Amino acid sequence: MLKDNPIIVYTADCRGSLENCVYQNRIEIADTQTAAEAFRFDSVFAQYKNDYRSKENFFWSNALPMDCDNDHSDEPTDWITPEDISFFFAGVPHIIHFSRHHMKWKGNKSPRTRFHVIFLLDPMTSEQEYVKLKEQIMGVYPYFDDGAIDSARFFIGTDPAEVIVVDGELTLNTLLAQIATNEDFLLSYREPIPEGKRNSTPTQIGACIIKRYGDTQVAYERFLSEAKRCNPPMEDGEVEQIWRSRQNFFRKVAKRKRSYKRHRHTSVFSGKIFCGDCGEIYGSKAWHSTSKYPRVIWQCNSKFDGEQKCGTLHLYEEQIRQLFVAAMSEYLSTVRAQFLTCNLPSGHSRTPTS
């Protein structure tokens, strides 16, 4: 399908530039060689007016990018692989591009498989519908980064670029439409689950089921039915262990979403600081509010939940403000310097305003 209908990306003339917004090089990808050349540079997956990347300038796209950092779990058996993508999006042409943090430490997260996925779409010209399609994918497949679903997402290039190109016969739109209208949405994958996949595949199927049906008896029975496809069969204890892990993961995600909704409007920092131990959001607390020396501190909202306490320290709000101002000043200095030297599209002035 890619030979007649290639995935179209637009690349910059630079790599690793967070400030660049110009992507003028159109590349049609139908094979590994072309993909490897394209992803040596920063890339976007839509055409923008005047080649200037922004949500407002979205013009059209036939490619939808998703990011998989595998930060949903620290258990290697939970991590998603390119083979898993081919399984769950069977028949959809896509490109795997291993990111710059692939098998490296990223923050406090250990080395693991990290990659980008670019799916072939039916051409889309609506920015709103494009974003909705990304949200629809998150509803079906919860492992992608939900912070990378806007319409002006770009991916940083790598040199050399390690890529995999998978062809197929369905666009992503077609597959998602089939899933939306088919209650038996997993049964299109009827192949037996081989011994080497008897842990990872049921784990991922369980995540999709519990995401769709919630932590319910219906979801549990559906998972048991799917687990019967393992050849040779799994022990009952193994099946139960996988399902309990999916329940725990579902509750953790649900808790984090509730916490985000509860705290995101109380301060400019709300919903933006996360605990390095458990992933919970930091919340503000008032210390000595009735004394002459009141202070506002921020700490993990789950710091004292459960038997194991989070080891992360609290932060004073004035510390956070100072760090924010310092980081923003450094960022703006870099942007100003690059702004004065970069090539902007026609109609954009590079003269700074005071």
List b or e across 152-162, with b for residues whose CB sees 16 or more CB atoms inside 10 angstroms: bbbbbbbeebe
Residue 95 sits at φ, ψ, to 5 deg, of -120, 135
Give the mean pLDDT of the chain.
83
Most confident among 35-44, 127-136, 255-264 (mean pLDDT): 35-44
pLDDT for res 351: 47
Neighbours of 62 (CB within 10 A): 21
Percent of the chain with pLDDT strictly greater than 70: 82
pLDDT at 85 over 80: yes
Greatest mean pLDDT among 123-132, 169-178, 252-261, 317-326 lies in 123-132
Asked whether residue 350 carries a pLDDT value surpassing 60, the answer given is: no
pLDDT at 66: 95
Residue 35: predicted pLDDT: 98
Average of pLDDT values for 296-308?
73
CB-CB contact of 321 with 312 (8 Å):
no
pLDDT attached to residue 245: 81
pTM for the whole structure? 0.62
Residue 183 has pLDDT above 60, yes or no: no
For residue 298, give the amino acid letter. Answer: W
Tokens representing 273?
């600081």
Task: Quote the pLDDT of residue 275.
Answer: 76
Question: What is the residue extent of each domain of the chain?
Answer: 7-181, 185-263
Look at residue 339 and tell me whether its pLDDT is greater than 70. no
pLDDT of 133 reads: 92
| CA dist., res. 92 & res. 214, Å (int) | 27
Q: Which of 232-241, 254-263, 266-275 has the highest mean pLDDT?
A: 232-241
Whether the predicted pLDDT of 264 surpasses 50 = no
Helical residues (DSSP H) of the chain, grouped into ranges = 32-38, 82-88, 127-140, 172-181, 200-213, 217-227, 236-263, 317-341
Which of 97-101, 111-115, 196-200, 213-217 is the least confident region? Answer: 196-200
Q: Answer whether residue 296 shows pLDDT above 60.
A: yes
Contact assessment for residue 234 and residue 223, using Cβ atoms and an 8 Å cutoff: no
- The per-residue pLDDT for range 203-223, each reduced to its tens digit, is 778 877 887 788 899 999 989
Name which residue leads in pLDDT, 22 or 74.
Answer: 22
Buried b (16+ CB within 10 A) or exposed e, 191-208: eebeeebbbbbbbbbbbb
Residue 311 has pLDDT above 80, yes or no: no
Structure confidence by residue, pLDDT tens digits, 111-126: 999 999 999 999 999 9
